[in-house]
Amino acid sequence: MRDTMIKNGDIVIGSSGNTVLLEGSDAKFQQAVLCISAKLGGFVYDRNFGSKVLLQDKTLSAKQTELLANESLAKMKNTYARVKSVGRQITIDLTVDDITREVQINGNL
């Protein structure tokens, strides 16, 4: 799997002026983070992309947030989230193909 690297919502451009590409597990992790952090229905080209995590009008419990995150990841094989904390930042242990990384996404602001 390959994907264009996205950082802080922008495509990353390398020193040569070309987009930076991610491959393998890095690309899969980026796709999973985008899937959790994007608001469901907010992507004009695919209204089924994203999650309900950031559509809530209040801060959910870690368990509720985890259920919504994993619902959005259901179509991604061998990928799941375990929410460690919620608030202004949501901290997640994200596992893709038996590799776990801690990631943070913006919570309710």
Q: Which of 32, 40, 103 is nearest to 74 (CA)?
A: 32
The answer to whether the CB of 82 falls within 8 A of the CB of 93 is: yes
The answer to whether the CB of 94 falls within 8 A of the CB of 32 is: yes
Q: Each residue of 67-77: pLDDT tens digit?
A: 999 999 999 99
The share of the chain scoring above pLDDT 70, in percent, equals 96
Q: Each residue of 2-16: pLDDT tens digit?
A: 999 998 888 999 999
Q: Each residue of 85-95: pLDDT tens digit?
A: 998 889 999 99
